[in-house]
Structure 1
Amino acid sequence: MTHIIIGSLVLSIIHAAIPNHWLPLVLIARSEGWKKRETMIVAGIAALAHTLSTISLGIIIGLIGVEISDQLRLFPTIIAPLVLIFMGLLYFGIDLGHSNHDHISEKKLAKKSKRSIILSVSIAMFFSPCLEIETFYFSAGHFGWKGIISISVVYLLVTVSGIMALVAVGGRSLEKVNFHFLENHEKKITGFTLILLGIFTFFVH
């Protein structure tokens, strides 16, 4: 199960670093004059909302994986790796030239009350779960609840802490980093990771 956890860890880090998850919050906090503590609370709420919807969907997919694994002996050696490779090829083939992760838009939240901003951000993040990580839930179904819980804990800790850390740093030091390269090529990086994991799973299970 180690390779599944490592793969989910890598994708969680990549996903958390996408600018649309945290940069708008930094810009909003500046324009609204929020204190750092206020900004961190909002970032934590938004990140938690995002992870809760992803984990909820992941548990359902993971349980499907558990059911299939119980019925098919080929699941861990053939089916799970093929699903990872197929999803990897699918993500790698998607090249839209821009990211479709439009979770938060500072322009849409401009001139709203603080309560409205928090509510809008939380709803936007909740209804845009990380679909890439769900593939790992399916593969983790072979390990039962142990696999499902492990991925959930990794994703929760990395995503929430990652988004909050980036919002906390937020300032000029991050403006020099080209996070938009990651945003534009996230699908290919995700696809490459899934393909490698799928190939590796054929030999280690």
Structure 2
Amino acid sequence: MNQIILGSIALSLIHALIPSHWLPFITIGKAQGWDLPHILKTTFLAGIAHTISTTIFGLLASFAGFQLSNNQYIISSTIVPILLLGLGAWFIMQHYRAHDHSHINEKVMNGKTYKQLLFSLAIMMFLSPCFEISAYFLSAGAIGWPAVATIIVIYNFLTITGMLLMVWLGHHGIKRLNIHWLQHNEQLITGLTLICLAVFNFFTEL
């Protein structure tokens, strides 16, 4: 259970901190002339849409894990590391195949009312769930529904809080820093993190 919690914390924080989850809100908000509370409110609502879709997908993975609960050790020691390793390799390949990693296309936001913008942002975030954490939902499902509820709370709280924190920091000047490297390499960072978590998960289950 400890490796599930630690892995979920790591993935949640990384996804909240990568620019595609917060920088577009600052850019759009400043282009629209919004103040900070308005930008934070928009980030919160769109972030909720993002975590809802991820949670739905996670619950499906948890149900699969629940059906295989008699094989909980095999899931946590073999299947989860393989899934994390495969996802990590996929993200690394995506990094070298494409360089536009943003969930949100800021150009399509021009000329829309606030409600239209909010709806578009929420839909875009809803349709791009973070599938990477599904491996931990699968493992949690094999342990039991209290473990699943723990992962849901960790993921939702850290993702939303992290996004809001980064928007707040970005609005106060962190955006002036050179984050091009982070934007360009966010899929590589995610992939390497998943591979590290796969290795960690494998050795902690030995």
TM over 0.5: yes
1:96 aligns with 2:89: no
Cα deviation 1:109-148 (Å, max 9, x = unaligned): 1121111111111111111111222222123223221222
Unmatched segments (≥5 aa) in structure 1: none
CA distance in structure 2 between the aligned counterparts of 1:106 and 1:35, rounded to whole angstroms: 18
CA distance in structure 1 between the aligned counterparts of 2:134 and 2:45, rounded to whole angstroms: 22
CA distance in structure 1 between the aligned counterparts of 2:197 and 2:48, rounded to whole angstroms: 27
1:78 aligns with 2:78: yes
Alignment CA distance shift 1:199-1:23 (3 Å): closer
Alignment CA distance shift 1:73-1:20 (3 Å): closer
Q: Cα distance, 1:155 vs. partner? A: 1.1
Cα deviation 1:74-103 (Å, max 9, x = unaligned): 333333333333333333333224143x32
CA distance in structure 2 between the aligned counterparts of 1:7 and 1:81, rounded to whole angstroms: 11
What is the aligned-residue identity percentage?
A: 36
Alignment CA distance shift 1:99-1:134 (3 Å): farther
**1:22-101 matched pairs, under 5 angstroms:** 22-71=22-71, 74-94=74-94, 95-100=96-101
Q: Cα distance, 1:108 vs. partner? A: 1.1
**1:85-164 matched pairs, under 5 angstroms:** 85-94=85-94, 95-100=96-101, 102-164=102-164
Q: Cα distance, 1:11 vs. partner? A: 1.6
Q: Which amino acid aligns with 1:171?
A: H
Runs (4+) of structure 1 exceeding 6 A deviation are: none
Q: How many residues end up aligned between the 2 structures?
A: 204
CA distance in structure 2 between the aligned counterparts of 1:26 and 1:113, rounded to whole angstroms: 17
Q: Which amino acid aligns with 1:135?
A: A
Cα deviation 1:32-67 (Å, max 9, x = unaligned): 222222222111101111101101111111111221
Other-structure match for 2:195: 195
Alignment CA distance shift 1:89-1:69 (3 Å): farther
Q: Cα distance, 1:195 vs. partner? A: 2.4
Contact 2:12 2:159 in 1 (8 A): yes
Task: Please identify which structure carries the higher helix content.
Answer: 2
Alignment CA distance shift 1:120-1:3 (3 Å): same
CA distance in structure 2 between the aligned counterparts of 1:163 and 1:73, rounded to whole angstroms: 34
Unmatched segments (≥5 aa) in structure 2: none
**TM-score (norm: length of structure 2):** 0.87
Q: Cα distance, 1:25 vs. partner? A: 1.7
Instruction: Give RMSD over aligned pairs.
Output: 2.2
Alignment CA distance shift 1:70-1:163 (3 Å): same
